[in-house]
Chains A and B, each alone.
Chain A
Amino acid sequence: MADITLRVNGSEKKVSVLPETPLLWVLRDTLELTGTKFGCGAGLCGACTVHVDGSPVRTCSTPVSRVAGKSVTTIEGLPASDGLAASQLHILQAAWIAEEVPQCGYCQTGQIMSAAALLQKTPHPTDEQITQAMNGNLCRCGTYERIRKAIHWAADAANNARREIARSRYQDDEHANGGAR
């Protein structure tokens, strides 16, 4: 057994487990964060995807010792997007609901984590970039086309949101300027 410290969804966690225990089982069994799913145990399906220091990682094949001291974000810790604080939804989660993506839903948390990592690096992905980023995530219900649509939806919405933010700032500035005049 080994004592390992990691940051999960912003808070420090000390766990005492076999050092080779995959991060997946530490999240699910020790920390009871069951939104991260077990699908294959071999890094083939992506259902167990989380972010480690911002990058997508397959937790079923990542020993917990390898993430000691690192920052882990699971689906439960995916931050709410601007304007979605009330519903506590990330823009991708809102997009998944808007495009009616989930069927059984089992793989969708892993899909969303992969998509969130993609949008972090590539805010406006092309179809090809989406395929490349998402091809490691399996869905037996066959929701891929709706996933693709939802990622575009989120990218566009983020764009609009940014425009909205930009616009309100501009108005604030204008208001301030107007007050000064």
Chain B
Amino acid sequence: MSPLSRREFVAAGVAAGAGLVIGFYLPHGGSERESFSPNAYLRITPDNKVTIVVARSEMGQGVRTALPMILAEELEADWKQIEIEQAGASTLFGDQTTGGSASIRTTWDPMRKAGAAAREMLISAAALAWGVPRSSCTAESGHIKHAASGRSLSYGELAGRAAALPIPTDVPLKQSKDYKIVGQRLPRVDSPAKVKGEAVFGIDFRMPGMKFAVLSRCPTIGGKVSSFDDKEAKKISSVSYVGKIGDSAVAVVADSVWSAMEGRRVLNVAWDDGPNKDLTTAAVMASLKQAASGKGASLYSAGDPAKVSGRKISAEYNLPFMAHAPMEPGNCTANYQGSKCELWAPTQVPQDCRDAVAAAVGLDPDQVKVNVTLMGGGFGRRLEHDYAVEAALVSKAINAPVKVIWTREDDMRFSTYRPASFHQLSATLDGAGFPVALTHRIVAPSISGQKGQPTPGNVDPDMPDEAGPVYGIPNYSIEYVMAQTPVPLGWMRSVYALQAAFALESFVDELAAAAGKDPLQYRLHLLAKDQDLQYFTTTWKTARMRGVLQLAAEKAEWGKPLPAGSYRGVACFACFASYMAEVVEISMEKDEPRVHRVVAVVDCGQVVNPSILEQQIQGGIVFGLANALRAKITIEKGRVVQGNFDDYAPLRMDETPAVEVYAVPSAEAPSGIGEPSVPPVAPALCNAIYAATKKRIRALPILS
């Protein structure tokens, strides 16, 4: 970094005001004299500052704490001296998308190797300085020590010497039994700023001369602006600009958010409703059912279910569109200045924002700089670049920095929704009532397909992470039928795993009931044999699924009778490379379930930070309960009906159960944790409702 860029960096850090988490990443080649930066993730300066760069986005899942822990472990750093820097869009880190429960699993190796390479170089630097063999030096708590002579040098003192050494390619990694940082309940680095109100989310970012904008968007899916009259809007105090943005929106710009909102309220726009003006949710659901008879693509195939005879059971399930509704509504700040454009974006996809903005405003991607801010929740909604493109277009139109803000109604009505789906399941049971054949046909529109991304073999590219087999049933087929819909689609926490698990795990419960068997013992029987189930590139192991189910049964005291009026349900599922089992305890009040307790067990390999893991699972279960109970986006006359937290109501404290979280001890490489707890919630709850009422719920939401 040049001295100038360092000043910019510090200035940005002050603007961010986040204390421990400072500033925005500026690419550097580690060339600054005396500074040791063997890779893009790490920088050690002679003043003994150890800075770790986080190349994923923080949306509450704890990456700004967990990812640096991985590097610091191998570095043998003193955790207290670590400073954390948020990377913006860069070419140094590969794909920076934060999603698919992938931040830990995809950076586990690079972060460990980055730390280990630095550690080895620091050891070499000290050995050279002292003229002693490398093998007599050890790295410990931010120092290299020479036990024989009692000498010690800090990493800062060694930075200059280490920077001159060649970077090793093959470095030894620590064994999990020697971990001092990974596996510890270290406090999150972002908590103090967040509880003090000092954390700067996208919506909080300010810069001199910045205007605010809200957009009036065509309420009908696929509609356009026909014409608009800005007379009334421009009468509102400080409204300085009203203009069309793209084909389907009109922006109102003012000096304050409220003036912009007031301007929009009185703005007159005539809409061209376009081809979907009569679209309804009922029509979408009917089209999914109709598509079920079409040709499907095979996701998984074992044996031949058609050739098996015995007692046959079939059922159909369906799920609605859902909205992410993160607490921080959509927003982005852009400063377009002719030959460059800078963004401050709460985004899960900084590189995608960079490329989309470049295309939208006519710049090259390297003329667009994307700073990643904190996010008030993401849940997949911020995998879209819509806010960024809007902000850049408005900034270009007014030739000034601007923050585009969405209201809650904008968020609800112009989101990209979890795809609705329809499921056909059928099974053939043997004499003892266990399935010898099972088929699951998943009918859903493709998120990636709708966005024009590749869908090789007519398979949505998310299916390989999210719709795999759970049980080693000898004749087993999972098929996917790609349906079409004009309703905008997006990736929402656990994506298709939610639908796949609801259908499969409700159906397995139906089979257990038909066989007159205990639903937990029934599942354990189906998992009794150690089997490897090869599903695309993942090998699902029945032993690991059995392990989480057994531990869940033990912790929930499954065999022990509950007080009168209380009932249990169980479900298990595997997705994002992790295994999850959940037991839900309920009572019924006026035909509605009241959830009292959830026992959740995960096998996600090595746990990096148990406290953050518990947060993710507790949160995923609350999210999953909201999905199961009430989440439903409906469309009438081509428009989304729901608008705010009254008609699309997340869970509140009075509905939140006690959630107990257990992780199976494991030294396997870490796997996903942000999403796997979501899918088993709905089937476990519906299975508990069946235990209470003998009524089977085959469509979500439960309270519709």
Contact = CB atoms under 8 A, between A and B. Distances in A.
By CB atoms of chain B within 10 A, which of A17, A22, A93, A102 has the most?
Answer: A102
Interface in A130-170: 130-131, 134-148
Contacts of B653: 130-131, 134-135, 137, 144, 147-148
20 contacts: A28-B257, A29-B257, A33-B197, A35-B198, A38-B329, A39-B408, A40-B644, A41-B408, A42-B408, A44-B645, A100-B615, A103-B62, A105-B191, A105-B194, A106-B328, A108-B195, A134-B653, A141-B615, A142-B623, A144-B622
Interface size range on A against B: 35 or more
Interface string A70-83: 00001110000000
B494 to A, nearest CB: 14
A32 B208 CA distance: 12
A107 interface: yes
Given A97-B191, A134-B653, A142 B644 contact: no
By CB atoms of chain B within 10 A, which of A38, A40, A75, A105 has the most?
Answer: A105
B379 interface: yes
A22 B258 contact: yes
Interface residues of B, number: 62
Contacts of A45: 327, 408, 645
Contacts of A145: 618, 656, 658-659
A103 B619 contact: yes
A18 B258 contact: yes
Given A96-B195, A143-B618, 20 more contacts: A18-B259, A28-B257, A33-B197, A34-B204, A34-B206, A37-B201, A39-B328, A40-B645, A42-B645, A45-B327, A102-B191, A106-B201, A138-B327, A139-B622, A141-B60, A142-B656, A143-B619, A144-B622, A145-B658, A146-B618
A125 B278 CA distance: 52
Contact of B328 (A37, A101, A130, A139): A37
B188 interface: yes
A21 interface: yes
By CB atoms of chain B within 10 A, which of A34, A44, A140, A147 has the most?
Answer: A140
Contacts of B199: 105
B583 interface: no
Contacts of B375: 104
A97 B192 contact: yes
Nearest to B646: A44
Interface string B611-625: 100011011111100
Nearest to B612: A100
Closest 8 CB pairs of A and B: A35-B197, A142-B622, A106-B376, A104-B60, A105-B194, A103-B60, A75-B197, A142-B619
B699 interface: no
Nearest to B615: A103
B256 A29 contact: yes
A28 to B, nearest CB: 7
A30 B256 contact: yes
A18 B620 CA distance: 41
Contacts of A147: 653
B69 interface: no
Contacts of A37: 201, 203, 327-328, 376
Given A18-B259, A34-B204, A105-B199, A142 B408 contact: no
Contacts of B329: 38-39
Contact of A135 (B59, B374, B408, B654): B654
Contacts, number: 180
Contacts of A28: 257
A84 to B, nearest CB: 12
Contacts of A32: 206
A6 interface: no
A102 B618 contact: no
B300 interface: no
Interface of A: 1, 17-18, 21-22, 25, 28-30, 32-42, 44-45, 47, 74-76, 88-89, 93, 96-97, 100-109, 112, 130-131, 134-148
B246 to A, nearest CB: 24
A77 to B, nearest CB: 10
A37 B658 CA distance: 27
Contacts of B616: 103
A109 B327 contact: no
A104 B196 contact: no
Nearest to A107: B327
Interface of B: 59-62, 187-188, 190-192, 194-201, 203-204, 206, 212, 237, 256-259, 262, 325-329, 374-379, 405, 407-409, 611, 615-616, 618-623, 644-646, 650-654, 656, 658-659
A29 B188 contact: no
A81 B59 CA distance: 29
Nearest to A93: B195
A89 B619 CA distance: 26
A138 B645 contact: yes
A17 B257 CA distance: 12
A144 B206 CA distance: 30
Contacts of B620: 142
Contacts of B62: 103
Contacts of A141: 60, 327, 377, 615, 619, 622
Nearest to A139: B327
Contact of B377 (A34, A97, A106, A135): A106
A100 B325 CA distance: 23
A75 B256 contact: no
A32 B622 CA distance: 33
Nearest to A92: B195
B262 A18 contact: yes
A102 B327 CA distance: 13
Nearest to A87: B192
A35 B408 CA distance: 18
Contacts of A39: 327-329, 408
Contact of A104 (B328, B651, B656, B659): B328
Contact of A25 (B188, B196, B257): B257
A127 B194 CA distance: 25
Contacts of B408: 39-42, 45
A97 B195 contact: yes
A22 B261 CA distance: 11
Contacts of B652: 135-136, 138, 144
A96 B376 contact: no
Contacts of A102: 60, 188, 190-191, 194-195
B291 to A, nearest CB: 32
Nearest to B199: A105
Contacts of A21: 256, 258
By CB atoms of chain B within 10 A, which of A17, A30, A38 has the most?
Answer: A38
A140 B195 contact: no
Contact of A34 (B200, B258, B379): B200
A34 B646 contact: no
Contacts of B407: 41
Contacts of A100: 187-188, 191, 611, 615
